[in-house]
A and B are shown apart, each in its own frame.
Chain A
Amino acid sequence: KAGVTQTPRYLIKTRGQQVTLSCSPISGHRSVSWYQQTPGQGLQFLFEYFSETQRNKGNFPGRFSGRQFSNSRSEMNVSTLELGDSALYLCASSPGGQANYGYTFGSGTRLTVV
């Protein structure tokens, strides 16, 4: 059974640019969540999508957005990149959006903003 796939693994962007990250959940899973991991702030929740609808949103500026497609694949977009957006972005999937299943995480996308 394939795990959670995140692409790309590494990304270097310039300040002011925008970026799109992709996440393919485990087959059959309908919930996808996104987290940002930085040395200073640790793991912070960005948002969760379930059946193409955003169910929960963290405390991030509007430059961070996401969406989920009918096949449950999800993308997150960051516009007008800032140096502080450099982080590991982790995607997690779960079957029905309930954390009692234990989210399965991908390997992440390492974004570096220069």
Chain B
Amino acid sequence: AQSVTQLDSQVPVFEEAPVELRCNYSSSVSVYLFWYVQYPNQGLQLLLKYLSGSTLVKGINGFEAEFNKSQTSFHLRKPSVHISDTAEYFCAVTPRGEKLTFGTGTRLTIIP
């Protein structure tokens, strides 16, 4: 079985500062990794995904993530955040085509 740990439930960041949201996973098989964002009263929007190849993945809205197999991590980063980035962020894994297993989410709050 797979599991996902998002270590930080809440992350406050000043506007225009960099941010890193941490995600660690556990799996006995190879997995695909995803980051989703959820704005208030909305569904989940895919930010980026890692399937194979380059370990640095670029996504929408200036976000990127780095897959580290030895650390079993897939941390999400943005060099400069904006007020509009205020949302909840979910890391998810799947063992190649099966159901998504989500982390508990990290609430990102941008401080003006």
Tell me if chain B binds chain A.
Answer: yes
Question: What residues make up the interface of A, taking CB atoms closer than 8 Å to B?
Answer: 4, 6, 33, 35, 42-43, 45, 48, 56, 58, 90, 92, 97-100, 102-108
- A residues within 8 A CB of B99? 33, 45, 48, 56, 58, 99
> Judging by beta carbons under 8 Å apart, are B96 and A99 in contact?
yes
The answer, among B43, B101, B104, B105, for a CB contact under 8 Å with A4, is: B43
The answer, among B41, B98, B104, for a CB contact under 8 Å with A99, is: B98
- A residues within 8 A CB of B51? 100
A112 to B59, CA, bound (A): 34
> Does B34 lie at the interface of the complex (its beta carbon under 8 Å from any beta carbon of A)?
yes
> Judging by beta carbons under 8 Å apart, are B43 and A102 in contact?
no
- A residues within 8 A CB of B42? 107-108
> Judging by beta carbons under 8 Å apart, are B101 and A97 in contact?
no
- A residues within 8 A CB of B32? 99-100
**Residues of B in contact, count (CB < 8 Å):** 23
- Identify 14 new A-B residue pairs, CB closer than 8 A, beyond the known A42-B102, A43-B105: A33-B99, A42-B105, A43-B102, A45-B101, A56-B99, A92-B44, A97-B97, A98-B96, A100-B49, A100-B51, A100-B96, A105-B43, A105-B44, A108-B42
- A residues within 8 A CB of B74? none
A42 to B32, CA, bound (A): 20
> Judging by beta carbons under 8 Å apart, are B100 and A103 in contact?
yes
Task: Name the CB-closest residue of B to A110.
Answer: B41
Instruction: Please report which residues of chain B, range 4-49, place their CB below 8 angstroms from some CB of chain A when the two chains form the complex.
Output: 32, 34, 36, 41-46, 49
> Does B89 lie at the interface of the complex (its beta carbon under 8 Å from any beta carbon of A)?
no
> Does B109 lie at the interface of the complex (its beta carbon under 8 Å from any beta carbon of A)?
no
A99 to B103, CA, bound (A): 16
If A43-B90, A99-B94, A100-B96 touch, whether A106 touches B43 (CB-CB below 8 Å) is: yes
Which of B44, B45, B90, B94 has most chain A Cβ within 10 Å?
Answer: B44
Which of B32, B49, B97 has most chain A Cβ within 10 Å?
Answer: B97
Q: Which 7 A-B pairs have the closest CB atoms?
A: A105-B43, A43-B102, A105-B44, A99-B94, A98-B97, A45-B99, A107-B43
